Chain A
Amino acid sequence: MNALLQQFLQESREALESIGSTLLAMEREPGDHSRLGELFRLVHTLKGNSGLFDFPALTAVLHAAEDVMDAVRNDALGFSQPLADQLLDAADYVSAFLDAVESQGTPGADFQVPPRKLVEGLRSWLATPALEGANSGVALVSTQNSRLPVDLPSAVRDLLIDAINAERTAFLLDYQPAADCFFQGTDPLHQVRQLPDVLWRRIRPLEAWLPAAEIDAYACNLRFEILLLASEESLAEHFRYVADQATWWPITLASLQSVDESVDTASGSDLAGFEPLALDILSTQYQALSACSQEPWPSGQHVAIVTTLERVLASQDDVTAMAAFQDCREQSNRQNDAKPLLSWLSGAMEKAIADDTPSTGPVTTPVQGELGGRPIACQALALGVAPDQADTITPRRADETASQAPAKVLKVEQEKIDRLMNLIGEIVVAKNGLPYLAERAEEQYGQRELAREIKAQYAVVNRIAEDLQDAIMQVRMMPVSFILQRFPRLVRDITRKLDKKVNLILEGEDTEADKAMIEALADPLVHIVRNSLDHGLEAPAERLAAGKPETGTLRIRASQNADHVVISIEDDGRGIDPQKIKVKVAAKGLVEPAALEAMSDQELVNLVFLPGFSTAEQVSDLSGRGVGMDVVRSGIEKVGGHLRLASQVGQGTQLSLSLPLSMAVTQVMVIESGGQRFGIPMDQVMETVRLPDNAIHTIKHQPTAQLRGRTIPLKGLNQLLAVPLEQVRNEDDEYALMVLRSRSELVGLLIDDFYGSIDIILKPMVGILGELSGYSGTAVMGDGSILMILNPTELFA
């Protein structure tokens, strides 16, 4: 993306933010017009800038908005709530547009064509200046005849004339609930029903219904037109919470008389006065009937519907309705078609809705609406419940969905996060320099007070650095489900191929770990699962013979344990037979026979990790892909994790992978040996002890020590590193001993001395040193020196 476009995006976002807050501020203080100039300028600048690029859709919207704002600024147009809404809609559109440009570099298909509705909506303010816009809670006074529905029934008009002659004020109310009104605590139907002295009422969709599948049942798409006798104050009071959605006009005799006299009045029956429940049933029947209207008449369903209708009508004691219904049924019977019945029902329903008034008001005969024959009334009844019909309720779409900004998620390249991570790592290391400084201040310059202050400052920096590190680590965290979700499919496919039955259970999928860890885990995990399915779990016949359920169980469980993520894979298969391993290893000559004899069962089981080992009788094409368990283990160890295997013959195998939550910062223990300092990864250190010289016993040429009831082999670090020095003992003739966990064994490492533990950034060794075994890398210390980090597992190998 070029710099100009980037600049444009950034500036436009700032402008949008200002526009949004300015509009909201103006809403709070409608009288304050000092912000209009500023608002115009912002829109103007945006529009001017948009012209630098080929964004016709964007320019069209901004141009319209600019013209509107210009008119407002010049007092040609009053600023009002609905206008502000429209401008906010436009701002949302622009914002969505910018998002698209930012993510794809171009506006994309959705934003090629100017949003006609939005532009026209804005322009409409210019066409009908002032009056229409000035509605913010105050009713508009207009005597325009066109406001009165031309199809007003004569009966209603007579009532109106009487009322006006009796000096009552009549109003035509147009109430258009906001699409999201259901979420704002308004109940439009209730609102309308509570109106007193309603003469006439009509409910229509605000916009044509969309196909049923696309309908948003939670968006209101209705418009209520109501003729009523009320005072203006009571209307304002009634609609005080939705003042922007309701408009009313007083009705005068003059306006009434000009309405065409030759209006068609209602004919036939209607369902006026029916109970809501009855209407509800009728509407359901209507839907059912329209759904099966294509079927040959009379099908069983038709008969059922007709019966229900008849009973409902009978229950309502409406003779005319019943007669009309009987007529239509006869017609349907004669024509062998559901249509006559269907059209009667839809017409009657619609009237019923328009007429569904509280009993207090004078109920009059409503006129068939201009939408005659369409099933809107049924939906209106249910208010948002969409029946299975082609043209039905729908929210205002397109522009609106675009304006509903998605949850705020920032997409960042991983590289940038990694860089941040590295920098934070550097801070963690750099802060470690402060204690050295404090030490020097005190010891070299005798500045004890200063040393204390430096230490205090260090504590602060330390805390911030840790928080920072934690925060950025959170960014990198992702749920384990990211890799676990592929397993159901994998297991299904493999078991099909092997003719086995396995029930896969996933647990703890929402456990989180660093992205790099999750990724490092993916391949080993697939391999382990394949192994389990291939070698561990038996075929159904074998399982039944062994007295186990036919279907095997494979359980993958993720959990967090301190600063490690533990993934355990358990099966209830045949387990690993140590004796078979022994035979195999002996046959392959992978281990000295004498050593093999001395091994415990657990040690034998662990031999599956030996390079070149494969327990399967035949190499299958599933697990035997040239990757052995040794590769799995080294893969896990490479990212600082470890792996434990346990197995009971005939009962199953449990493998657990333990990985650090993050691999950016490593905690190491600093030790000294042979006059040199080294670091040892803290997660391998089990304990540190001072060991008297006489506690060391040599068993089979191997120095050992008894520690907490266990015999632990001892190794001197100098010896391992081929340094020709004895390990130093302290004045009490004690060795410094570090008990380390190497794979699943405990090994005692004799060293010269311990120091504290520190956080370091482990840099792997590169170039010629990269080949060196026994070290996992290096780290820069706070005082600038280099610390070599040992890899005990490699050292002991």
Chain B
Amino acid sequence: MSKNIMIVDDSATMLMSLRSSLEMSGFKVEAANDGVQAINKLQGGYKPDLIITDINMPNMGGLELIGKARALPGMRFTPILALTTESQQAKRDEAKRNGATGWLVKPINATDLLGVIKQVLPGV
């Protein structure tokens, strides 16, 4: 069974890029434009196997999203990867503290992406 991945980014370009990489690797992809949308989806019963989220987003940023998602039932151990840029070392640490499993550095190519996913998603 193919795994579900939720991608959260306010940039449609980034979503499109991630989606095509992931779908080509056989994942089912659900996209959200910001933290609020993502939380709504999660509260609505959607249960992804992995969440990849951007940090800087309008309405609700990635850090807040990670904190809120972790508090939802059944989401304690869902891997969450934060998408950061190389200039945001501080953000990575903060994301970790908020409960992120790891981080990805933008821009990320499909091979690297898959490599990281393999580390956090068992059985892929």
Q: Which of B10, B16, B20 contacts A45 (CB 8 A)?
A: B10
Cβ B85 vs Cβ A48 within 8 A: yes
Contact code string B21-61 (vs A, CB < 8 Å = 1, else 0):
00000000000000000000000000000000010111000
What is the total number of residues of chain A having a CB less than 8 Å from a CB of chain B? 20
Contacts of A63 in B (CB 8 A): 87
Q: Does B14 contact A (CB under 8 A)?
A: yes
Distance from A709 Cβ to chain B, minimum over Cβ atoms (Å)? 73
Expressed in whole angstroms, the minimum distance between the Cβ of A45 and any Cβ of chain B is: 5
A38 in contact (CB, < 8 A): yes
Q: Which residues of B contact A49 (CB under 8 A)?
A: 11, 13-14, 107
Do the beta carbons of B12 and A41 come within 8 Å of each other? no
Q: Provide the A61-85 mask, 1 if CB < 8 A to any CB of B, else 0.
A: 0010011001000000000000000
- Which residue of chain B is the closest to A67 with respect to CB atoms? B87
B11 partner, pick from A38, A40, A45, A67, beta carbons under 8 A: A45
Residue of B nearest to A3 (CB): B16
B54 contacts which chain A residues (CB < 8 A)? 48
Given B11, B83, B87, B106, which contacts A11 in the complex, CB threshold below 8 Å? B11
Residues of B within 8 A of A12 (CB): 13
A729 contacts partner chain B, Cβ-Cβ < 8 Å: no
Question: Given A44-B85, A47-B85, A67-B87, does the pair A52, B56 have CB atoms closer than 8 Å?
Answer: no
Residues in B whose Cβ lies below 8 Å from that of A52: 13-14, 17, 107
Contact of A40 among B13, B14, B16, B56 (CB under 8 A): B56
- Complexed CA–CA distance, A41 and B14 (Å): 14
**B83 nearest CB neighbor, chain A only:** A48
A194–B17 Cα distance when bound, in Å, is 60
* Inter-subunit contact B13/A11 (CB<8 Å): yes
A361 interface residue per 8 A CB criterion: no
Chain B residues whose CB sits within 8 angstroms of the CB of A44 once the complex forms: 56, 85
A40 to B107 Cα, complex, angstroms = 18
CB-based contact A4/B16 at 8 Å: yes
Closest to A47 in B: B85
User: Is A754 interfacial (CB 8 A cutoff)?
Assistant: no
- The B-contacting residues of A in range 1-25, CB under 8 angstroms, are 3-4, 7-8, 11-12
- A719 CB to closest chain B CB, in angstroms? 67
Is B17's CB under 8 angstroms from A4's CB? yes
Contacts of B17 in A (CB 8 A): 4, 52
Alpha-carbon gap, A4 to B109, bound state (A): 14
Interface residues of A in 643-685 (CB under 8 A from B): none
CB distance from A61 to the nearest CB of B (A): 15
Contacts of B107 in A (CB 8 A): 48-49, 51-52
Measured in the bound complex, the distance between the Cα atoms of B8 and A45 in whole Å is 13
Residue of B nearest to A12 (CB): B13
Kindly list chain A residues whose C-beta atoms are within 8 Å of the C-beta of B10.
41, 45
CA A51 to CA B12, docked complex, whole Å: 14
Residue contact B11 to A51, C-beta cutoff 8 Å: no
- Residues of B in contact with A (beta carbons under 8 Å apart): 10-14, 16-17, 20, 54, 56-58, 83, 85, 87, 106-107
What are 25 residue pairs bridging A and B, where the CB atoms are less than 8 Å apart in the complex?
A3-B16, A4-B13, A4-B20, A7-B12, A8-B13, A11-B11, A11-B12, A12-B13, A38-B58, A40-B56, A45-B56, A47-B85, A48-B14, A48-B107, A49-B13, A49-B14, A49-B107, A51-B106, A51-B107, A52-B13, A52-B14, A63-B87, A66-B85, A66-B87, A70-B87
Given contacts A11-B11, A45-B10, A70-B87, 14 further A-B contacts (CB under 8 A): A3-B16, A4-B13, A41-B57, A45-B11, A47-B85, A48-B11, A48-B106, A49-B11, A49-B14, A49-B107, A52-B13, A52-B14, A63-B87, A66-B85
Ranked 5 nearest A-B pairs via Cβ: A51-B107, A48-B106, A8-B13, A49-B13, A41-B56
